[in-house]
Amino acid sequence: MPGRREIEMTRPDFATRGGWFKFSAAMAAGIVAGTLLSAVVLLFQSRGAPMEQWLAAERACAQYHYRSEREACMQQWAARSRATSMAAK
């Protein structure tokens, strides 16, 4: 007489339920991963413009050797850039 564990493993619907459960879990994991990935991509895209302006200001003020002078130049450059872009609108 087979043991209880052998009987449970040989039931015909055991594999079917496990397969659907694995498929559902994989789909849910894929949806969560896709959502997180798209959120991170959107976050980086929305924050890209300020970073681009900061890098341009850093390049424009590269001739200053002291940090305080460079930061002041960058702030002035960013303010002029914002004023120019607001006037264009």
Domain end position, chosen among 15, 30, 46: 46
Cα torsion through 30, 22, 20, 9, rounded to 10: 180
Domain count, the chain: 2
Render pLDDT for 22-78 as a digit per residue (tens, 0 to 9).
899 999 999 999 999 999 888 877 766 677 788 888 888 889 889 999 989 988 988
Q: Within this chain, do residues 18 and 29 fall inside the same structural domain, yes or no?
A: yes
Q: Within this chain, do residues 33 and 59 fall inside the same structural domain, yes or no?
A: no
Q: Within this chain, do residues 41 and 1 fall inside the same structural domain, yes or no?
A: yes
Q: Within this chain, do residues 72 and 82 fall inside the same structural domain, yes or no?
A: yes
- CA 6 vs. chain centroid, Å, equals 47
Task: Give me the helix-helix angle, 48-60 and 14-46, nearest 10°.
Answer: 40
Q: Which residue range(s) make up the domain with 33? A: 1-46
Q: Within this chain, do residues 24 and 58 fall inside the same structural domain, yes or no?
A: no
DSSP string of 12-76, one letter each residue:
TTHHHHHHHHHHHHHHHHHHHHHHHHHHHHHHHHHTHHHHHHHHHHHHHTTT--SHHHHHHHHHH
Q: Within this chain, do residues 77 and 38 fall inside the same structural domain, yes or no?
A: no
Render pLDDT for 7-27 as a digit per residue (tens, 0 to 9).
555 555 555 566 788 899 999
